[in-house]
């Protein structure tokens, strides 16, 4: 459709100003998705928005406005100076884009139908974009916590479960996996809720073993799956991109496959003979170096690791370990946890 010059020059000026405002705001958001989130899918979406608006930014609008006579040029607000967090800046620019597109939509409706429709469509899509950026940012926070994690406590049924987990968290543990092999009932849900609250209080990752439904219900940080559990791709579709998915692996081939499937981390073992996995032969340390070369995922050595052998596990190349009995079965779980973390 040919753009009809608006008889009111002031309307053309405000359309031009808001096209500039929307495109500038989108560029701020795009750069954060590129450098801060490293999300190609979001970058492509935003770049497409900018291109659409650029194609609609006709000369009639550009020639109507002079920056030197613009009474709003250079005006700022105190709120702009208080935005120190990248997410605050991104969301402020999302609002800026939405507001600018609304102005364009209203004032171009009668003279530039195409521009009005494009502005309306992008405005609604920016609402979804904002939600996706929030999820991606949360996912980044979880993955940074995962990268820095050295010790994961995998729980088992115990009458003093809350005291054990609480002491482990106070001692410095940064990841707890709630493991319950029996059917989930209201008592198990209540137990998991209390553990989730404990982990949140200590800013520790809280992972649910096997049960994606429980992880969703509790808004847990992720789920840990076994080789026979729900497939990783289905779990990802249910949980979304921001949540963590771990997978138990017992060979180099399974570890490489876990990375290809899009897991965030793996458990690798058993390193030593353990009653928790009686049907599996211990892997020892021979695969550690090849594992580190073959995958970029964080991996946790698991299986029979305790206070006596944990230093050897780290010396052989592991940087993270997961334990059950060496905390859950100890009388002083605070000291037991600290001993594991000191190595």
For 67-120, how does the pLDDT look when each residue is reduced to its tens digit (9 = 90+)? Answer: 555 555 554 555 555 657 888 999 999 999 999 999 999 999 999 999 999 999
**pLDDT at site 343:** 80
**Residue 136: CB partners within 8 Å, gap ≥ 6?**
33, 37, 39, 42, 241, 242
Active site residue 277: yes
- Determine what percent of the chain is predicted with pLDDT higher than 70: 92
Which tokens is 339 given? 């001993």
**pLDDT at site 85:** 86
Distance CA 285, CA 298 (A): 17
Distance CA 46, CA 50 (A): 6
Q: Active-site residue among 145, 261, 277, 294?
A: 277
Q: What is the pTM of this model?
A: 0.78
Which tokens is 102 given? 């609304």
Of the pLDDT bands very low, low, confident and very high (cuts 50, 70, 90), residue 278 is confident
Q: Active-site residue among 21, 179, 243, 320?
A: 179
Which DSSP letter does residue 155 get?
P
pLDDT at 288 over 70: yes
- Determine what percent of the chain is predicted with pLDDT higher than 90: 82
pLDDT at 20 over 90: yes
For 191-218, how does the pLDDT look when each residue is reduced to its tens digit (9 = 90+)? Answer: 999 999 999 999 999 999 999 999 999 9
Cβ atoms of 151 and 320 within 8 Å: the answer is yes
For 215-236, how does the pLDDT look when each residue is reduced to its tens digit (9 = 90+)? Answer: 999 999 999 999 999 999 999 9
DSSP per residue over 167-214, as a string?
Answer: HHHHHT--EEEE---SPP-HHHHHHHHHHHHHHHHTT-EEEEES-HHH
Of the pLDDT bands very low, low, confident and very high (cuts 50, 70, 90), residue 281 is confident
pLDDT at 187 over 90: no
Q: Which long-range contacts (CB under 8 A, 24 or more apart) does 5-13 make?
A: 5/60, 5/111, 6/60, 6/111, 9/64, 11/107, 11/111, 12/60, 12/61, 12/64, 12/65, 13/61, 13/64, 13/65, 13/70
Distance CA 255, CA 40 (A): 25
**pLDDT at site 66:** 62
pLDDT at 247 over 70: yes
Q: Where are the domains of the chain?
A: 9-142, 149-342
Active site residue 21: no
**pLDDT at site 186:** 84
> Which of 4-18, 162-176, 258-272 is predicted least confidently?
4-18
Q: Active-site residue among 50, 248, 320, 326?
A: 248
> Which of 266-270, 280-284, 322-326, 335-339 is predicted least confidently?
280-284
Which tokens is 306 given? 């305790």
Active site residue 276: no
Cβ atoms of 317 and 152 within 8 Å: the answer is no
Of the pLDDT bands very low, low, confident and very high (cuts 50, 70, 90), residue 50 is very high
From the number of C-beta atoms within 10 Å of its C-beta (0-12, 13-18, 19+), residue 150 rates as: middle
**pLDDT at site 67:** 55
**pLDDT at site 68:** 53
**Distances from the Cα of 36 to the Cαs of 30, 33, 165, 325, in angstroms?**
10, 6, 34, 39
Between CA 111 and CA 121, with CA 124 as vertex, the angle to 5 degrees is 40
User: Which residue in 67, 76, 84, 87 sits closest to 13, CA to CA?
Assistant: 67
Place of tokens 């701020």: 28
Q: How many residues does the chain have?
A: 343
For 26-44, how does the pLDDT look when each residue is reduced to its tens digit (9 = 90+)? Answer: 999 999 999 999 899 999 9
Q: What is the mean pLDDT of the chain?
A: 91
**pLDDT at site 81:** 53
Distance CA 96, CA 26 (A): 9
CATH class of 149-342: alpha beta
CATH number of 9-142: 1.20.1260
- From the CA atom positions of the chain, what is the Rg in Å? 27
**pLDDT at site 280:** 81
Identical fold for domains 9-142 and 149-342, yes or no, is no
**Distances from the Cα of 320 to the Cαs of 204, 252, 309, in angstroms?**
15, 17, 14
């Amino acid at each position: 459709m040919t753009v009809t010059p608006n008889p009111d020059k002031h309307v053309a000026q405000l359309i031009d100003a808001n096209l500039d405002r929307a495109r500038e705001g989108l560029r701020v958001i795009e750069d954060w998705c590129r450098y801060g989130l490293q999300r190609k899918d979001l970058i492509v979406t935003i770049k497409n928005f900018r291109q659409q608006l650029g194609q609609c930014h006709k000369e009639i609008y550009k020639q109507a406005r002079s920056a030197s006579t613009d009474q709003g040029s250079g005006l700022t607000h105190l709120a702009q100076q208080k935005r120190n967090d990248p997410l605050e800046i991104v969301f402020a620019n999302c609002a800026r884009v939405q507001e600018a597109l609304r102005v364009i939509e209203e004032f171009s409706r009668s003279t530039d139908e195409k521009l009005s429709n494009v502005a309306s469509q992008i405005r609604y899509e920016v609402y979804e974009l904002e939600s996706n950026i929030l999820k991606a940012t949360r996912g980044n926070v979880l993955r940074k916590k995962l990268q820095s994690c050295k010790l994961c406590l995998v729980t088992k049924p115990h009458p003093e479960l809350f005291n054990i987990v609480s002491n482990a968290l106070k001692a410095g543990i940064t990841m707890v996996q709630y493991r319950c092999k029996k059917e989930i009932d209201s008592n198990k849900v209540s137990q998991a809720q209390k553990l989730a609250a404990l982990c949140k209080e200590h800013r520790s990752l809280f992972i649910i073993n096997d049960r994606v439904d429980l992880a969703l219900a509790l808004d847990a940080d992720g789920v840990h799956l076994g080789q026979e559990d729900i497939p990783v791709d289905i779990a990802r579709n249910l949980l979304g991109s921001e949540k963590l998915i771990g997978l138990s692996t017992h060979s180099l081939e399974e570890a490489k496959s876990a990375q290809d499937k899009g897991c965030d981390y793996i458990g690798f073992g058993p390193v030593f003979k353990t009653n928790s996995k009686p049907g599996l032969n211990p892997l020892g340390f021979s695969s550690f170096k090849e594992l580190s070369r073959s995958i970029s995922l964080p991996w946790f050595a698991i299986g029979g690791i305790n206070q006596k052998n944990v230093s050897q596990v780290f010396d052989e190349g592991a940087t993270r370990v997961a334990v059950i009995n060496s905390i859950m079965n100890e009388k002083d779980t605070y000291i037991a946890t600290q001993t594991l973390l000191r190595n």
